[in-house]
């Protein structure tokens, strides 16, 4: 929880990420956060070098992230909510 301002109008910042341990190192698979991108603070997803807007309830992010990470580890396609 942070003080509300123009960069954080809802008064909270978050970052959820899924990491994968492979070949003796941790690699980030995916991250969802609400930091400043696209000129304003809004929810978005980091997949590889791509950043895309996403709209998901805060309460659902953990389950969504775990399921997406499992697909990525198995080599599946990105989820439709990432606008791919």
pLDDT classification of 83: cutoffs 50, 70, 90: very low
pLDDT classification of 42: cutoffs 50, 70, 90: confident
List beta partners, residue 17: 31
Given a cut of 50, is residue 54 above it in pLDDT? yes
- 30 by Cβ neighbours in 10 Å (0-12 / 13-18 / 19+) ranks as buried
Given a cut of 80, is residue 11 above it in pLDDT? no
């Amino acid at each position: 929880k942070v003080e509300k301002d123009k960069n954080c109008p809802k008064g909270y910042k978050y970052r959820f990420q899924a990491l994968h341990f492979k070949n003796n190192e941790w690699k980030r698979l995916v991250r969802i956060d609400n930091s400043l991108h696209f000129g304003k603070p809004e929810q978005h997803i980091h997949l590889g070098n791509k950043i895309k807007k996403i709209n998901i309830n805060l309460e659902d992010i953990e389950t969504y992230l775990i399921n997406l990470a499992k697909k990525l580890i198995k080599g599946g396609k990105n989820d439709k909510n990432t606008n791919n």
